[in-house]
Amino acid sequence: MSENISMKTLFHPSLYQFDQAQPSYWEATAGASGLAAEALSGAQSCDVAIIGGGYTGLSAALHLARDYNIDVRLLEAGHIGWGASGRNGGFCTTGATKVSLKAQLAKFGVEQTRSFYQSQAEAVNLVRTLGAEESIDFLLQGDCEFIVADSDAHFTELLKNAELEQTLLGVDVTIHSKDEFREIGYDSPHQHGAIAIRPSFALHPLRYARGLAAAAERRGAQIHTHSEVLHWHKQDDGRHLLETAAGSLRAKQVILTGNGFMPEHLHPGVRGRPLPVQSAIVVTQPMSESELVQKGWHTQSPAINSKHMFFYYRLLSDGRFMLGGRADHIGNPAGAEATYDELKRSIADMWPQFADLEYTHQWRGLVCFALNLRPSIGRMPEDKSIYFAYGYHGNGVNSATWSGRELARWLAGKTPGNHHLPMHLPAIVRGRPPRFPLAFLRRQYLRAGLSFYKLRDRIGF
Ligand SMILES: Cc1cc2nc3c(=O)[nH]c(=O)nc-3n(C[C@H](O)[C@H](O)[C@H](O)COP(=O)(O)OP(=O)(O)OC[C@H]3O[C@@H](n4cnc5c(N)ncnc54)[C@H](O)[C@@H]3O)c2cc1C
């Protein structure tokens, strides 16, 4: 099934070094992994094989082993959390689609849109519950997500959306005027009021990923790190054969994950469908509580601003400030340096009181968009023994965890039907996204999109 097209050709090769960890704050502070995981070796077999050890794969492995006693093995190319799950901003918040609320209502109707919004809130709560059930100390912070208006016009727009979300969809939204938000959040020349969405919080993403992996192992799943799947064959007896450098795994069913790092070269059913997009993060030196008060920062909850090319930012548990945003469409180290500098300039512009802080960490990774701008959960129409979930659009702490659990339930036969679409799930997440036309041009499409949205932000449209 493999062919000579590599996902590594899409972005710069420096983004795909499975033997190297990003120099992130999370890697520096996660502590010992405590996992038994070893690389796959020799000829092995299992019922369900999972490709990818991020939240999607780990949650699927944990739920398959713990709730259904299914014989499952997970193959991860790097270490656990090597991908986005170990290097994200730690926002456990809602919002896995870029389809506007109006467009969702027009295409899917009120009931399906409500069901999607409810599933997103349920997904946030699932992370909290898993933390408690599996004793994962992921350093929870805050109790909502703030969306902060960058202008008075944006605040008016936020209020309109908030009203729709409250009345039609039952979302828990609180509105804060500029003056109120200065007291409970922060002040900035770019602060024009905010809304707070619950349930949401912030966590340590790599501690969470490792906690999921340890729980999956404890519950009977076999986790193999440093086990990149290099080849995938379907055998005459209907089994899948996954080959790594040091071993092979035969399985009745496969769950394919990977999101922004999707190994699309392994299967034609996924090729050309994900759109990986770079996101980058910078972190400052720690600040004491009194320094934070003096600088007018009052919240532990994560926040984003209201621009199209928005920033996401939060305090870390030791008083550091973290900010992330979109990076370039190439992915080379020089572009990364330029992005980090731009993020630091943006911090000084948005919060002049932070302008003199030193920076201690910076890193980047890939999130996953899709042509239909929605997350995707399904089975390959051409081979229903292959399940997948990806395309969380920069979200995923909650959505990938929830999607992994939903795949486990579906695979274990706990949900009705033998369709390739998960008809029991909200319509917005069902099935495969379309292939990009001339998929090799995806980075050029991305460049055009980034320029378009930057321009819209500049002219305030
Ligand atoms: C910088 C950044 C900031 C983000 N911030 C947030 C945030 O604050 N909140 C939020 O909700 N989401 C955030 N996200 C997105 C979120 O992290 C992802 O949506 C989520 O982690 C996806 O989980 P996943 O398991 O599907 O994929 P990933 O975590 O990316 O895991 C995929 C795994 O597949 C493995 N893999 C690839 N090819 C192979 C192969 N051939 N064989 C074996 N394994 C393979 C990779 O090594 C990787 O570990 C952010 C992402 C980034 C990059």
CA–centroid distance, residue 73 to ligand 1 (Å): 19
**pTM, to two decimals:** 0.97
Beta pairing partners, 243: 231, 248
Which residues of 177-292 form beta strands (DSSP E)?
A: 194-198, 201-202, 222-224, 231-234, 240-243, 247-256, 274-284
CA–centroid distance, residue 57 to ligand 1 (Å): 10
Q: If you ran DSSP here, which 8-state letter would residue 203 be given?
A: -
- Alpha-carbon span 273 to 212, nearest angstrom: 28
Element (DSSP H or E) covering residue 334: helix 333-350
Instruction: Tell me the mean pLDDT per 10 residues along the chain, length 461.
Output: 51 95 97 92 98 98 98 98 98 97 97 98 98 98 98 96 95 98 97 98 98 98 98 96 98 98 96 97 98 97 96 98 95 96 98 97 98 97 96 98 97 82 95 95 94 88 76
Pocket probe mutation, ligand 1, options 3, 339, 397, 403, max atoms within 8 Å of Cβ: 397
* pLDDT recorded at residue 458: 86
* pLDDT recorded at residue 33: 86
CA–centroid distance, residue 39 to ligand 1 (Å): 20
- Alpha-carbon span 134 to 441, nearest angstrom: 43
Rounded (5°) CA angle 136-85-203: 45
Judge whether 142 and 202 are in contact, CB under 8 Å: yes
Q: Give the Cβ contact number of residue 450 at 10 Å.
A: 18
Closest Cα to atom 49, ligand 1: which residue? 83
* pLDDT recorded at residue 415: 76
For residue 157, give Cα distances in angstroms to 149, 307, 370, 399, 459. Answer: 9, 11, 25, 26, 16
Pocket probe mutation, ligand 1, options 364, 367, 387, 405, max atoms within 8 Å of Cβ: 367
| Integer Rg of the chain from CA | 21
Residues 6+ apart with CB under 8 A from 85: 53, 54, 55, 58, 205, 206, 208, 209, 396, 397, 400
Q: Give the Cβ contact number of residue 119 at 10 Å.
A: 21
> Is the preceding omega at residue 199 within 30 degrees of 0, hence cis?
yes
CA–centroid distance, residue 84 to ligand 1 (Å): 3
In the chain, what is the straight-line distance between the N-terminal and C-terminal CA atoms, in Å? 45
84 Cα distance to chain centroid: 6
Closest Cα to atom 20, ligand 1: which residue? 396
* pLDDT recorded at residue 154: 97
* pLDDT recorded at residue 34: 87
Q: Give the Cβ contact number of residue 295 at 10 Å.
A: 17
Query: What are the boundaries of each domain within the chain?
Result: 7-88+206-276+372-449
- Alpha-carbon span 244 to 248, nearest angstrom: 6
CA–centroid distance, residue 453 to ligand 1 (Å): 24
* pLDDT recorded at residue 8: 58
CA–centroid distance, residue 153 to ligand 1 (Å): 34
Beta pairing partners, 256: 51, 388
* pLDDT recorded at residue 208: 98
* pLDDT recorded at residue 418: 75
Q: Ligand 1 atom closest to Cα of 230?
A: 41
CA–centroid distance, residue 258 to ligand 1 (Å): 7
Q: Copy the structure tokens of residue 163.
A: 């009203």
Which CATH code of 3.50.30.10, 3.20.20.450, 3.40.50.300, 3.50.50.60 fits the domain covering 7-88+206-276+372-449? 3.50.50.60
Burial class (CB in 10 A: 0-12, 13-18, 19+), 461: exposed
The closest alpha carbon to 309, from 323, 322, 288, 295, belongs to 323
Closest Cα to atom 50, ligand 1: which residue? 88
Are β-strands 42-51 and 359-370 bridged in parallel, bridged antiparallel, or unpaired? unpaired
For residue 213, give Cα distances in angstroms to 155, 210, 397, 427. Answer: 41, 5, 14, 30
Residues 6+ apart with CB under 8 A from 405: 59, 60, 63, 126
Ligand 1 site residues (CB inside 6 A) read 18, 51-57, 75-78, 82-85, 87-91, 228-229, 257-261, 263, 279, 281, 312, 324, 364-367, 390, 392, 394-397, 400
